[in-house]
C-alpha cells in the first residue's frame, strides 16, 4: 500500500514537473494547444506502467500502444523532461521522405488528381476545401454518376494522411479514385455504387506534414488531437482557434450530410471503432463491431492480426484519444466514422503500396456500400442513440 501511494505521488510530481518545464522551454504561439495537440517532439517510451500518467499530463498525447511501450508526442522540451526523469525512451525522428522509394510530392499528387478530373468529368469533381498552413490546397474528389447533381443519394467520405508521416492512406486513396473511375460501367458492383452513392475522397488532410515527413501540420499541430471533444473542456463544436486544416474539414462537413466515413493512419494494422475518448460502451456497440469486422475480414492481413483479435479494437480499450476526428464526426455531425490503421510501418517502401491496395480494395468497397444501411439507421433513430449516456 505504501509503495502504491509513493508511486502515485511520484506520478503527480512527474506530471507537475513537465508542466513547469513546458512553459520553461516555451510552446509555439503559432499553434493552439488543445487536448495535447502539439507534436513538436515525439518519443517511444518503453515503460508501459507510465502510460496513464503520461497520457493524462496536459500537453501530451499517447499513440500506438503496444506490448513494447508507446509513443508520446508533445511540445518542445518533452525529450529533456523524459531524460531528466530517467524515463527510458527513444526519439521518433521525422521520416526521411527520400529514403523509402519515390513517393510523390504533394504537388505531384495535386497534378495527378487534376488529371483524373480532366479525363473523367462525368464521374469526378475536384475541389479544394481550403489551404494548409503553407498554402497547399486541401483537395477533395467527389465521385458519382451524374457528379454535378447534389441530390438525395447517401453521402460517404474517406480522409487520409492526417498525420503527415503516415503515408499509405494517401496513396491508397489515389489508387481507389482511379479504380472507381476506370471500372464504372465495367464492374457491376462499382457501377451500382457510383449510381447510388455520393462518394467524397480527401487523399491528404496534411500535405505540409507529408512533404516534411512529420506527424503534425506546418505549425506542428497534431490534427487528430485538434477537434472538439465531448469528454473534455474543449467541447464546443466551433472551428475558431483550431488548425487551419481542422477548420477546413469542420466547415466543409457542415455543408454536407455524410452518413458514414473512415480516416486512415499508419503504425499498426487494425480497424478502430468508437469511442476513443471515453470508456463508456457505445449504445450501438454490436453494430459498430459488425461493420469493423466486415472491413477486417475483407483485408486479410488485418484480420490475421496476432495483436488484435480479428483485426478490430475499441479505441479507448487500446488507448485514449482526446480531440480525435472519429469521435467528433460521429458525436457532433452524425457521421459514423471508423479509423483504419493500414500498415505497421508508417512510411514503408513505396514498392509495398500495391500490396496494401490489393489487400484493402474489397474492404474499401464494402465500407462504401454500407452507406445506405447507415443512412437508413439515421432516418429511424435519434441522434442520442449515438451519444454516451449522461
pLDDT-based confidence at residue 380 (cuts at 50, 70, 90)? confident
**pLDDT tops 80 at residue 27:** no
pLDDT tens figures, 230-267: 999 999 999 999 999 999 999 999 999 999 999 999 99
For the chain, the average pLDDT equals 90
d(CA 306, CA 290): 19
Apex CA 153: angle with CA 150 and CA 154, to 5°?
A: 115
What are the tens digits of pLDDT across the range 182-212? 999 999 999 999 999 999 999 999 999 999 9
- Winning range, highest mean pLDDT, from 23-27, 53-57, 244-248: 244-248
Model pLDDT, residue 40: 96
pLDDT attached to residue 36: 78
Kindly give, in sequence order, each residue whose CB lies less than 8 Å from that of residue 26, ignoring residues fewer than 6 positions away: 76, 77
pLDDT of 303 > 70? The answer is: yes
pLDDT in tens, 28-49: 334 455 777 999 999 999 999 9
Query: How confident is residue 19, by pLDDT bands cut at 50, 70 and 90?
Result: very low
Lowest-pLDDT range of 26-30, 52-56, 107-111, 166-170: 26-30
User: What's residue 101's pLDDT?
Assistant: 75
Residue 302 has a pLDDT of 98
Q: What is the pLDDT of residue 388?
A: 55
3-state secondary structure 90-133: EECCCCCCCCCCCCCCHHHHHHHHHHHHHHCCCCEEEEEEEECC
Residues with catalytic roles: 341
Question: Could you give the CA distance from residue 325 to residue 276 in angstroms, rounded to a whole number?
Answer: 10
Quick check: pTM over 0.85? yes
Reported as a pLDDT band with limits 50, 70 and 90, residue 171 is: very high
Residue 9 has pLDDT above 50, yes or no: no
Residue 386 has a pLDDT of 59
Which residue is listed with cell 503534425?
216
Whether pLDDT at 2 is above 70: no
Alpha helices in 254-384 (DSSP H): 285-298, 300-303, 315-318, 325-333, 353-369, 371-380
Percent of the chain at pLDDT exceeding 70: 89
Q: What is the predicted pLDDT for the residue at 97?
A: 81
Domains of the chain: 7-91 (3.30.70), 106-386 (3.40.630.10)
For residue 8, the model assigns a pLDDT of: 37
Amino acid at each position: 500500500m505504501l509503495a502504491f501511494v509513493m508511486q502515485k505521488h511520484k506520478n503527480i510530481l512527474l506530471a507537475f514537473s513537465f508542466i513547469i518545464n513546458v512553459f520553461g522551454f516555451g510552446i509555439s504561439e503559432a499553434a493552439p494547444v488543445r487536448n495535447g495537440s502539439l507534436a513538436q517532439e515525439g518519443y517511444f517510451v518503453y515503460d508501459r506502467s507510465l502510460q496513464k500518467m503520461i497520457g493524462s499530463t496536459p500537453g501530451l498525447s499517447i499513440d500506438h500502444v503496444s506490448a513494447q511501450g508507446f509513443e508520446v508526442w508533445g511540445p518542445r522540451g518533452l525529450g529533456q523532461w523524459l531524460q531528466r526523469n530517467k524515463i527510458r525512451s527513444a526519439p521518433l525522428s521525422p521520416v526521411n521522405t527520400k529514403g523509402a522509394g519515390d513517393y510523390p510530392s504533394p504537388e505531384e499528387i495535386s497534378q495527378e488528381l487534376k488529371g483524373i478530373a480532366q479525363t473523367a468529368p462525368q464521374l469526378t469533381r475536384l475541389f479544394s476545401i481550403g489551404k494548409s498552413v503553407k498554402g497547399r490546397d486541401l483537395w477533395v474528389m467527389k465521385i458519382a454518376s451524374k457528379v454535378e447533381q447534389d441530390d438525395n443519394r447517401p453521402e460517404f467520405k474517406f480522409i487520409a494522411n492526417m498525420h503527415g508521416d503516415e503515408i499509405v492512406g494517401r496513396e491508397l486513396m489515389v489508387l481507389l479514385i482511379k479504380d472507381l473511375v476506370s471500372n464504372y460501367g465495367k464492374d457491376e458492383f462499382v457501377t451500382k455504387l457510383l449510381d447510388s452513392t455520393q462518394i467524397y475522397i480527401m487523399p491528404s488532410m496534411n500535405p505540409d506534414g507529408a512533404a516534411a515527413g512529420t506527424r503534425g501540420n506546418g505549425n506542428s499541430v497534431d490534427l487528430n488531437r485538434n477537434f472538439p471533444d465531448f469528454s473534455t473542456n474543449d467541447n464546443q463544436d466551433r472551428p475558431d482557434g483550431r488548425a487551419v486544416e481542422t477548420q477546413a474539414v469542420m466547415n466543409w462537413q457542415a455543408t454536407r450530410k455524410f452518413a458514414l466515413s473512415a480516416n486512415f493512419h499508419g503504425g499498426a494494422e487494425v480497424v478502430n471503432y468508437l469511442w476513443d475518448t471515453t470508456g463508456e460502451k457505445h449504445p450501438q456497440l454490436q453494430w459498430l463491431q459488425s461493420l469493423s469486422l466486415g472491413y477486417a475480414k475483407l483485408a486479410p492481413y488485418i484480420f490475421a492480426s496476432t495483436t488484435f483479435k480479428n483485426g478490430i479494437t475499441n479505441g479507448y480499450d487500446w488507448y485514449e484519444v482526446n480531440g480525435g476526428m472519429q469521435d467528433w464526426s460521429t458525436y457532433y455531425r452524425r457521421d459514423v466514422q471508423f479509423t483504419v490503421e493500414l500498415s505497421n510501418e508508417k512510411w514503408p517502401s513505396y514498392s509495398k503500396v500495391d500490396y496494401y491496395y490489393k489487400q484493402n480494395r474489397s474492404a474499401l468497397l464494402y465500407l462504401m456500400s454500407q452507406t445506405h444501411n447507415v443512412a437508413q439507421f439515421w432516418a429511424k433513430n435519434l441522434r442520442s442513440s449515438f451519444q454516451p449516456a449522461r
